[in-house]
Amino acid sequence: MLEVKDLNVHYGVIHALKDVSMEVKEGEIVSLIGANGAGKTTLLHSISGLLKKTSGDIIFLGHSLNKTSAKNIVKEGITQVPEGRHIFPGMSVYENLIIGAYLRKDKEGIKEDLNNIYQRFPILKQRSNQDASTLSGGEQQMLAMGRALMARPKILLLDEPSMGLAPILVKEIFQIIKDINAEGTTVLLVEQNAKMALSIADRGYVMETGKIVMSGTGAELIESSDIQKAYLGG
């Protein structure tokens, strides 16, 4: 479904991504783990069209995205839930959700998806008229995910969805990710909580200093002594 081939990205003189190649197959959850500054968010931003690539290619459903704008990448079916959630303050929960569908024209479909979001996240329905910035961290994460789903993505890019959340909420968010995937949305997950990320992943990649240094199934990576020492406290 998604293939990254020999991707290089620079921030000025900093070589942020170095010949990165990876793939996500339709229906998978693929987790990307690594320390802060490894290049994980840079990779997601590159896929979303938010960063210019120095070289390499990103192929989605068989065609290159290199000349595709960020707006049209969303139209193609790639939606990102950003690190830090980036809820629109001063706007209601409902308005934040509707913004997720801004490229869509199918009013009945939008209405149906909004009802589905409210069924998945009942707290959002209860707070639909509330200023989104007044929600708790966990509720804002649910809103950010709901907003992304309003675009009807084929693949959902999730950047650190558990950041700043209490452990009980982390479990809930990861169950939601599994449910979204089970209902047909492919997921590429960037996550600091390596154990949780790999436990729900079909496959995973490990990034260090802008490079992919290891890959395998989620189970293989959890069992790896190198991964346990570096990321799982083993």
Stretch 171-188: mean pLDDT, rounded? 93
Determine contact, residues 117/149, Cβ cutoff 8 Å: yes
pLDDT at 144 over 90: yes
Stretch 196-211: mean pLDDT, rounded? 94
Contacts of 88 (CB under 8 A, 6+ apart): 95, 96, 99, 132
pLDDT band at residue 230, thresholds of 50, 70 and 90? confident
Stretch 156-176: mean pLDDT, rounded? 89
Contacts of 145 (CB under 8 A, 6+ apart): 81, 156, 158, 161, 173, 176, 180
Contacts of 85 (CB under 8 A, 6+ apart): 137, 140, 141, 143, 144
Burial degree of 130 (CB within 10 A; 0-12, 13-18, 19+): middle
pTM confidence score:
0.91
Q: Class of 2-88+153-231 per CATH? A: alpha beta
pLDDT at 167: 85
pLDDT tens-digit map of 64-118: 999 899 999 999 999 999 887 788 889 999 999 999 998 888 999 899 999 999 9
pLDDT at 234: 53
Positive/negative CA dihedral, 39, 45, 47, 51? negative
pLDDT at 227: 87
Looking at every residue in the chain, the average pLDDT score rounds to 92
pLDDT at 137 over 80: yes
Contacts of 175 (CB under 8 A, 6+ apart): none
pLDDT band at residue 192, thresholds of 50, 70 and 90? confident
Min mean pLDDT across 111-115, 148-152, 229-233 is at: 229-233
Query: What proportion of the chain, given as a percentage, has pLDDT over 90?
Result: 72
pLDDT tens-digit map of 28-66: 999 999 988 899 999 999 999 999 999 999 999 999 999
What number of other Cβ atoms are within 10 A of residue 234's Cβ? Answer: 12
pLDDT at 233 over 80: no
Stretch 171-180: mean pLDDT, rounded? 91
> What kind and span of H or E run contains 46?
helix 40-47
pLDDT at 147: 94
pLDDT at 164: 82
pLDDT at 226: 86
CA–CA distances in Å: residue 183 to residues 91, 148, 170 = 29, 15, 20
pLDDT at 113: 92
